[in-house]
Amino acid sequence: MPKATALPPQPRKAAGAAASTGGQFDTRTHSEAPVSLAGPAVTADNYNESVARALSAAKAYETTDIEEMTDAEFDRLQAAILSYEEANGITPDHGLHTAVGHGGAAGGDIEHATLAGSLDKPGEEKVIEFAEKHPNAVIEPKIDGMAIIVRYKDGRLFSAAKRGDGYTGENVTEKVRGVEGLPEVAGDGDFEVRGELYLNDENLAKANAVRASQGKDPFKNARNGVAGMMNKDDSTYAGLFNFAAYSTTVLDGADHLDAMDELAGMGFTTARSLLPQSVLDAEDPMSAIAALGAERKGLGFLMDGAVLKVPTAAEREELGEGTRAPKWAVAYKYPPVEEPTVIEDIEYEIGKTGRLSIRARYTPVDVDGSTLEFASLHNVKDLLSKDIRVGDTVMAYKAGDIIPQVHLPRADLRDPSSQPWQPPAACPKCGGEFDKSTELWRCTNPECSVSGRISYAVSRDAGLDIEGFGGTTGDALIEADLVKDVSDIFHLSEDQLANLKLGTTDSGADRVLGEKNAQKIMAEIEKAKAQPLNRVITALSMRFTGRTFGRRLAAQFETMEALQGATVTQLANVEGIGEKKAAVIHAELAKNAPVIERLRAAGVNMGAPKPKPEKGAKAPKLVTADGGAMNVVITGSLKGSALGSLTRTGAQELIEANGGRAAGSVSKSTSLLVCGEEGSSKWLKAKELGIPVVTPDEFAKMLEDGEA
Ligand SMILES: NC(=O)c1ccc[n+]([C@@H]2O[C@H](COP(=O)([O-])OP(=O)(O)OC[C@H]3O[C@@H](n4cnc5c(N)ncnc54)[C@H](O)[C@@H]3O)[C@@H](O)[C@H]2O)c1
Ligand SMILES: [Zn+2]
């Protein structure tokens, strides 16, 4: 079971960022040493098993959409195997380091004219060395998909094959006809084009829509998508690929750049044409590589590296081919954008708006240049559907390069005794109940969050009755720190409201409250300044000053000043309050003095002493024969009656303004029941106790005529 950890308040984030995740956590990265999941070194004990694991992963990688490990994990495992073999003089025959495909690919029925090899990825130092040795080398994007070798005969697409084992490959001709960037007709000659079959974001989305319609999980990424789609016998994904060429025999003996231009002229997409080219500076090749890498996000397709190539045919000939890759090119692979790590805890926080945010804390891990430690987990539903558990191995990545996320819990690495995560039963901050009506759970305790307090303060029934202030608008004001307590409402400017950011539109523009709405709310705020004192007291959201006590305190002290000056004993004498509550209210009043002062400064009603009844003035209407206040209970709907415009609190205020006392339930001490529904439980009780019952209309008349 994950333990619930209530966090100390976190530094604020921009409202937009918080809104996009529903999260409140500070997601800054962290500087502890990252974890490496390289696994144990390869030893005599695990050598065979390590090779088998690598071969199995390579096979799955080549022929299915299943990724048994990440590329970085695979590369580390392969390097560990190689170094064990070198240290022990082993000459392996498993094919993991030879030809292509890391032993994963089988040959096929199409023979390649020349070796369809891989690319050497020698690491930064060797890449720099290569650039220094070949100052005329060009740089181009390395697209992450699947290599295909396409042959044209008389200018018509004749065959297409996978790379296979480097010598022969599977025939995929019919699968690639009609693919974007790969024309069916090109000139009139015989030639070969090699290039990458890949998925841009648009085609990945389309392919995933196909999968969704078949009830299948989406592809994990575009690379796995291509492998999975090429493996299918059906034509479900026909046309949903992209193609970009990176080598050709179309111009015999020509410079690489000319050959690529020629292809582009024939209607091919070339790898070079996909990205604005940076020029390779032999003195500082890494800066050009970094510049190309900086374009990675927002490209709309996967690019996993940069390729440095010697462009002239003569030099290529001279340098020749290695056993698995040409010697005239090298690739630099960009650091992975996600890394595996282990979830250590699932943590909760209740934000200012009362929303539950959930995040995972995991073993710190280096991803694309920063160390990550936390991931936003969105909402309860999302977390349950992903089935992420404490102890799980997950992939950590940066979403939009700011807010880290995790995905893909690895069921195969899961401790068999691990338990599914359980959402918290109650608010971890106050123990209150959750409102689960939307995906972002919210604590319903008004005292638990700023938002809870503010929505209570502006509510029509209990508070200052300010319309248009709840929901999104209220939350946005709170997120933007424009409203921290009720007094801030009365110091808002029309400009602040008009420019309040409520979210973003579909096209990414800011959605603001706007002038018209701002004017309406300003008018509501102005009107609220005249609300009766009892509502102002209640709107302060102090403990024990809800509707009923708000009214009793207002009736007793008449002005805010008098209430603030009241001693604990004076407060305790108010009906129903008593010593204990009085001490709390006294302390709350002192604590809220600055808020009250700001309300006063804004012109909010602070009450006025009641004028002494003049001689001959009418006596209050709701008094008993012995001069005490009548206990009046109002129940049922007031709609359609003479009291129809009143809320429950409004009706209770009316009773008290007429000298009565509003009560909630019928008992022996009830003097009168106002009830429009014969036969209701209160009506029956009143009849049973012999208490007079009047309809709302009769009651309104009573107050007019003074016939109580
Ligand atoms: N996750 C796994 O389980 C798993 C298993 C096996 C291999 N792999 C990954 O596969 C990769 C190894 O495959 P590889 O040997 O084919 O190397 P590679 O795919 O990294 O590089 C060679 C390929 O790059 C492609 N390419 C893209 N743009 C190019 C351009 N502009 N010019 C030239 N070539 C371009 C070509 O298809 C070429 O065949 C490694 O990254 C490894 O991590 C992963
Ligand atoms: Zn709470």
In-domain check, residue 290: yes
Q: Are residues 467 and 581 in the same domain?
A: no
Instruction: Name the more confident of 347 and 404.
Output: 347
| 695 close to 641: Cβ distance less than 8 angstroms | yes
Residue 195 pLDDT level (bands cut at 50, 70, 90) = very high
pLDDT score for 106:
76
Q: What is the pLDDT of residue 605?
A: 97
Q: How far away, in angstroms, is 356 Cα from ligand 2 center? A: 9
**Residue at 513: amino acid letter:** L
Q: Which among 565, 553, 551, 567 has a CA at the least distance from the CA of 593? A: 565
Based on the domain organization, do 262 and 279 belong to the same domain? yes
Distances (CA, A) of 297 to 69, 216, 448: 23, 27, 40
Structure-token pair, residue 177: 């006809």
CB atoms closer than 10 angstroms to residue 44? 8
Residue in the structure block whose two tokens are 């998508």? 225
Confidence band, pLDDT 50/70/90 cuts, at residue 615: low
DSSP, residue by residue, 210-229? HHHHTTPPPPSSHHHHHHHH
Strand partners, 607: 559
Structure confidence by residue, pLDDT tens digits, 128-141 = 999 999 999 999 99
Strands 631-635 and 661-663, sheet pairing: parallel
Q: Measured in angstroms, how far is the CA atom of residue 144 from the centroid of ligand 1? A: 7
Given a contact cutoff of 8 angstroms between Cβ atoms, the answer to whether 294 and 113 are in contact is no
Task: Write the CB contacts of 438 (distance below 8 Å, at least 6 apart in sequence).
Answer: none
Is residue 7 very low, low, confident or very high in pLDDT (cuts 50, 70, 90)? very low
For position 13, what pLDDT does the model report?
A: 32
CA-proximal residue: ligand 1, atom 23 (nearest): 118
**Residues 145/139, Cβ–Cβ less than 8 Å:** no
User: Which positions are catalytic?
Assistant: 142
Q: Would you say 196 and 243 are in contact if contact means Cβ atoms under 8 Å apart? A: yes
Cα Rg of the chain (Å, integer): 37
Asked whether the beta carbons of 266 and 273 are under 8 A apart, the reply is no
Of 95, 222, 262, 217, the residue nearest 167 (C-alpha): 95
The bound ligand whose nearest atom lies closest to the alpha carbon of 72 is 1
Residues 326 and 224 reside in one and the same domain: yes
Q: Is the CB of 345 under 6 A from ligand 1?
A: no
Question: The tokens of 49 are what?
Answer: 């098993």
Banded model confidence at residue 21, pLDDT cuts 50, 70, 90: very low
Same domain, 648 and 518: no
Report yes or no on whether pTM surpasses 0.95: no
DSSP H or E run through 151: strand 146-153
3-state secondary structure labels for all residues of 381-400: HHHHHHCCCCCCEEEEEEEC
Q: Is 421 exposed, middle or buried (0-12, 13-18, 19+ CB in 10 A)?
A: buried
Mark which of 103, 136, 170 sits at the end of a domain.
103
Residues 683 and 591 in one domain: no
Distance (angstroms) between ligand 1 centre and the Cα of 352 equals 48
Three-state secondary structure string covering 261-313 = HHHHHCCCCEHHHHCCCCCCCCCCHHHHHHHHHCCCCCCCECEEEEEEECCCH
How remote is the CA of residue 446 from the centroid of ligand 2, in Å? 8
Domain CATH number, residue 546: 1.10.150.20
What is the rounded distance in angstroms from the CA atom of residue 103 to the CA atom of residue 204? 27
- Number of domains the chain is built from: 5
Examine the domain organization and report whether 141 and 264 are in the same domain: yes
pLDDT of residue 706 exceeding 70: no
Q: Which ligand is nearest to the CA of 350?
A: 2
Q: Which atom of ligand 1 is nearest to the CA of 146?
A: 37
Q: Categorize the per-residue pLDDT at 65 as very low, low, confident or very high, splitting at 50, 70 and 90.
A: confident
Q: What proportion of the chain, given as a percentage, has pLDDT over 90?
A: 49
Asked if residues 305 and 299 have their Cβ atoms less than 8 Å apart, the reply is: no
The one-letter code for the residue type at 602 is A
| Domain co-membership, 71 together with 130 | no
155's tokens: 């200018």
Q: Which residues pair with 309 in a beta bridge?
A: 138, 329
Q: How many CB atoms within 10 Å of residue 507?
A: 5
Nearest in space to 374 (alpha carbons), one of 362, 388, 392: 362
pLDDT digits (tens, 9 = 90+) for 274-331: 987 777 888 889 999 988 888 887 788 989 999 999 999 999 999 998 888 899 999 9
118 touches ligand 1 (CB under 6 Å): yes
Q: Tell which of 581, 601, 621 closes a domain.
A: 601
512 and 569 fall within a common domain: no
Query: SS3 for 548?
Result: helix
CA distance 406 to 408: 7
- Counting ligand 1 atoms within 8 A of each CB, the residue from 118, 193, 268, 309 with the most, and so the one to mutate, is 118
Share of the chain above pLDDT 70, in %: 91
Summarised one tens digit per residue, pLDDT across range 524-567 is: 999 999 999 999 999 998 988 888 899 999 999 999 999 999 99
Do 176 and 242 reside in the same domain of the chain?
Answer: yes
Range of the domain at 666: 631-705
Supply angle C-alpha 307, 312, 315, rounded to 5: 95
In a domain, 27, yes or no: no
Nearest protein CA to atom 32 of ligand 1, as residue: 246
Mean pLDDT in the chain? Answer: 86
**In this structure, are 164 and 225 located in the same domain?**
yes
Examine the domain organization and report whether 546 and 637 are in the same domain: no
Q: Is residue 614 part of a domain?
A: no
Assess if residue 354 is contained within a domain. no
Q: Whose CA is nearest to atom 17 of ligand 1?
A: 118
Nearest to 405 by CA among 384, 385, 388, 426: 388
DSSP annotation of 634: E
User: Is residue 645 domain-resident?
Assistant: yes
Same domain, yes or no, for 453 and 304?
no
